[in-house]
Amino acid sequence: MWAHDLALGVEAELRVLRDLQQRYPDARKIYGEHSAYDLEVPGQFTVEVKFDPASQRTRNIVVEYYHRKVSGLHTSTADWWVFDTGERFIWLTRAAVHSCIIGEGIDPVKIRGPGDRHPKWVFLVPVETISRYSSEAP
């Protein structure tokens, strides 16, 4: 399950990369399990990609920040976050993700994903809500 999810995540990163490369030909993927972001346009900005196809069914985007240790939103240093719902990309600056969570008063919840051995702490942000904080892709 974990390997399958990882593969889907990598495919999402490559989809976003191809999109970015149309505007920034030097955009590239960062390899490494513990990298602080997934993609970069050297000297310009960095990007974190989150693939969340379940949001089509749940209507919520999962924003993880703690999974036995600090993770996700609290470890990524990316300038931009892009949520791939499987239907579309939702682009936000990192500050906009925080603004959305705090501005909308979204409480953290503990969940255990299908492939998770341990529970994780996340924000479940309605797709419509997070979309209001989104921007045009850089």
Partner 1 sequence: MSLSAKKLYWDQVLADIQDRFGPQFHDLAVETVIYYLPGEICELSSAEERKAVIDSIPDDCSPAHAKQLIINGTRVLWKKRNVGS
- List residues near partner 1 by CB under 8 A: 65-66, 69-70, 74, 95, 98-99, 101-103, 105, 108, 121
Nearest approach, Cβ of residue 94 and partner 1 (Å): 9
| CB closer to partner 1, 44 vs 99 | 99
Give the nearer residue to partner 1 in terms of CB position, either 21 or 93.
93
Residue 109 backbone phi and psi in degrees, to 5: -135, 155
Provide, rounded to whole angstroms, the least separation between the CB of residue 4 and partner 1. Answer: 28
**Torsion sign over Cα 18, 27, 81, 7:** positive
Q: Which is nearer to partner 1, 15 or 98 (CB)?
A: 98
CA angle 84, 17, 78 (to 5 degrees): 75
Closer residue to partner 1, CB minimum distance, 6 or 70: 70
Residue 63 Cβ vs partner 1, minimum distance, rounded to whole Å: 11
Tell the smallest beta-carbon distance from residue 74 to partner 1 (Å): 6
Q: In Å, what is the CA distance from 22 to each residue of 81, 89, 136?
A: 18, 15, 15
d(CA 3, CA 26): 28
Q: Which two structure tokens, joined as six digits, stand for 98?
A: 């925080």
